[in-house]
Chains A and B, each alone.
Chain A
Amino acid sequence: MNEKIGRVYFGILGIITLIFGISDLIVTMGGNDFSWSILEISSEMFRGGWGGLIVISAGLFYLSSLKNFLEIHQLSKALMGSILIWILAGTDIFVRITESIPGGEEGPWFNSLEGFLSNYVPPYPSVIFLLPFSLIILFFVSKIKKA
C-alpha cells in the first residue's frame, strides 16, 4: 500500500517539479522576470538558469524512483530529489534572511520589525512551494528504517 501511495505521490510531484524547472529555464531564456499571484520566477542566470537545471534534476530524480519505489536504491533517488529541493529552497530562504537583517544603506544598523517581515511576504520562487511537499519523503525513509 505504502509503495503504491509513494509511486503516485512522487509521480505527481515529479511532474510538477519538472514543469517548474522547465518554466525557470524558459523565463531565464526570455530575459524578463515572471510574476503571477504569489509565484515569481527569476530570469537571472544564476537563480533562474542554474536553479532551473537543479529543479529539473530533482523532478527527474523523483520520476526515476517510481519503479519498485520502496527498494532502497530507488527510495534514495526520491530522497536525493528532495535534498536538491531542500538545498535550493534553503538558499532562497537564506538570501531573504540576509537581506532582511541590515537596516539599508541610509537607515539604522538593523532593520525595523516591519522592514524585516516585509522581506518574507510573497511572491515566492516555485521551489518554496515544492518544499513542504518534498518533506513527505521523510515518512517513507522512517518506514524503511523501521523495517
Chain B
Amino acid sequence: MRLTADERWNLIEEISNKVLTYGKFKHTLKDALGELTVKPLTGIPIAIVVLYGFWSVFSSFAGTLCTDGFFVKLFDGHFLPWIQSIFPGKGGWIYYIFVGDPVADNCFEAFGVLTSGLFVAIGVVLPAIFIFYLMMALLEDVGYMPRLAVLVDTIFHRIGLHGYAIIPSILALGCNVPAVTATRILETKKQRFIMMTLLAIFIPCGAQLGIMQEVIPESIGIVLLYLIFGYFLFGFILNKIVPGKSPEILIDVPPYQKPLWNNISRKLRMRLGGFLKIAVPFVLFGCAIVNILYLTGTIDWLAKTLAPLLTGWFGVPGETVGPLIAAFLRKDLAVAQLNVIEMSKYQMITSVVLVSIYFPCIATFVMLLKEGWKNLLGSLAVLLTVIFFYGGLINVIWKLLGVQ
C-alpha cells in the first residue's frame, strides 16, 4: 500500500493521538541533578569527585586493607616460609620455577609460580578487581555512566570517538579483555580500531594499577599522566590517518535510580568469574614462562642484545628486558619484576610507562585476534611506533629537565 505525504502525516497524527498524553512537564529534583551532571561547568567537578571517590576507595580497600593489611602477612609471613621448607629439590630448576628464589623473604621477590604468581593473582589483583567492578556496577546502575558519556562526548570526538567510548576505556582500567568486547558499542570499523588500539596500549588494567600502587605509590600520578597524554595524542593522530567515519550518536540518558543489589551482585559474579577463569591462569603461566626464559639464559641474551636500545634510546637499565618480556604474558607481573631492578625514580617511571604501552598482555592479544587479524596487525604496527617514539620522548623529557 502506498500512501501520499498527506496521508502519511494524517496517519502519524492518528497514532500519536492514541498513544500520547499531553501535560505540563514538571522537573523533579532527580531531573535537576541529572542536568547538573551533564553540563560541563557543573559536570566536570562532579566527574572529578566521582573519580576521586573511585580511586580513593579502590586504593584504600585493595591496597591498605586487603593487600597490605592481610595478604602480605599471610603470604610473606606464613605461606612463603612454609612452601620454601616443604617443596622438594631446593636449588633445582623445578624448585626455581615453582618457588623461585630460595632465600627470598617476600613473595614479590621470590618470583615462583606458587609464590609471586599466587600472591599477585590472589593477594593483589583479586581485591583490586573486586572493588573496581563493584564500584563500576554501582555507577552503571545508579545511572551515572551515560551522563559521563554525554559529558566527555566533545573530547572524544577530537580523537574520532564519541562519549560512549568512556565505557570500554573505564572497563579497561579493570581488565582489557571485557573492554575489547565492549568496543562493539562503537558504530564504525574506524572507531573500533582506534578504541582497541588505544586501550591495548595506554590503559593499565586493575591488576597493573594494584601492583603500581604497591611498588611506586608516589609516582603513580606521573605514570598515569603520561598514559592519559599519550591516549589523547595518539588518538588524535589516529583519527587523522585512519580512513573511515566517526558518526554522531544519540545517547539515551535514563533517570537516576537506586541500584538493585541483585543486579550488582550478578554483574560482579559474572565479571569476577571471567577474571578468575581467564586472567589467573595467565598470571601463573606467565610466571612459569618467564622463569624458564631466565633459566635458559634467553633473557640475559636479549638484555645484552637490546641493551643499546634500552639504555641509549629509552634511558632504562638493560635488565628491564626481562620485565618487558614478562609484560607480554602479564603486565602486573612485569611491574612487580621492575621493583627488584636497581634504577632511579625517573628510570622507574619510564620503565613502568614502557611496560604499560608495550605489547598488550596475551589475554588481550587473544581478544584482539578474535576481533579480526587485520585489526590486530594494525594495532601492533601502531604499538611499535608508539613504544619507540613515545618511550624515547619520555627519556628526552627527563634529559631536558636534567633529572635522568
Which chain A residues have a beta carbon within 8 Å of chain B's beta carbons?
45-46, 50-51, 53-54, 57, 60-61, 72-73, 75-77, 79-80, 83-84, 87-88, 90-91, 94-95, 98-99, 101-102, 105, 109, 141, 144-145
Do the beta carbons of B48 and A98 come within 8 Å of each other? no
CA A75 to CA B35, docked complex, whole Å: 13
Main secondary structure of the interface of A (DSSP, over half): helix
B69 touches A (CB below 8 Å): yes
Interface 1/0 per residue, B27-44 and A, CB below 8 Å? 111001101100000100
Which chain B residues border A76 with CB–CB below 8 Å?
29, 32-33, 35-36
Select one of B36, B49, B64 contacting A98, CB under 8 A. Answer: B64
B73 touches A (CB below 8 Å): yes
Do the beta carbons of A54 and B52 come within 8 Å of each other? yes
Which chain A residues border B64 with CB–CB below 8 Å?
95, 98-99
Which chain B residues border A84 with CB–CB below 8 Å?
45-46, 49
Q: A87-B53, A91-B57 are in contact. Are A73 and B69 (CB under 8 A)?
A: no
Given A46-B52, A75-B32, 8 extra CB contacts under 8 A: A50-B48, A54-B48, A79-B29, A80-B36, A87-B52, A88-B49, A91-B57, A98-B61
CA A73 to CA B53, docked complex, whole Å: 25
Number of interface residues of B (CB under 8 A): 28
Do the beta carbons of B221 and A102 come within 8 Å of each other? no
Do the beta carbons of A87 and B65 come within 8 Å of each other? no
The 6 closest A-B pairs by CB, nearest first: A102-B69, A76-B32, A57-B45, A98-B65, A91-B56, A98-B60
Do the beta carbons of B28 and A72 come within 8 Å of each other? yes
CA A105 to CA B69, docked complex, whole Å: 8
Do the beta carbons of A77 and B29 come within 8 Å of each other? no
Select one of B32, B56, B68, B69 contacting A94, CB under 8 A. Answer: B56
B70 touches A (CB below 8 Å): yes
Which chain B residues border A95 with CB–CB below 8 Å?
56, 60, 64
Select one of A50, A72, A94, A144 contacting B57, CB under 8 A. Answer: A94
Most buried by A among B49, B53, B57, B65: B49
Which chain A residues border B60 with CB–CB below 8 Å?
91, 94-95, 98-99
List 15 A-B residue pairs with CB atoms under 8 Å apart, sorted by A's residue number.
A50-B48, A50-B52, A54-B52, A72-B28, A76-B29, A87-B52, A90-B53, A95-B56, A95-B60, A95-B64, A98-B60, A98-B69, A99-B60, A102-B65, A105-B73
Which chain A residues border B52 with CB–CB below 8 Å?
46, 50-51, 54, 87-88, 91
Which chain B residues border A141 with CB–CB below 8 Å?
29
Interface 1/0 per residue, B220-258 and A, CB below 8 Å? 010000000000000000000000000000000000000
Do the beta carbons of A72 and B45 come within 8 Å of each other? no
Do the beta carbons of B48 and A102 come within 8 Å of each other? no
Interface 1/0 per residue, B66-82 and A, CB below 8 Å? 00111011000000000
Closest Cβ of chain A to B258, distance in Å, is 15
CA A53 to CA B52, docked complex, whole Å: 11
CA A137 to CA B162, docked complex, whole Å: 36
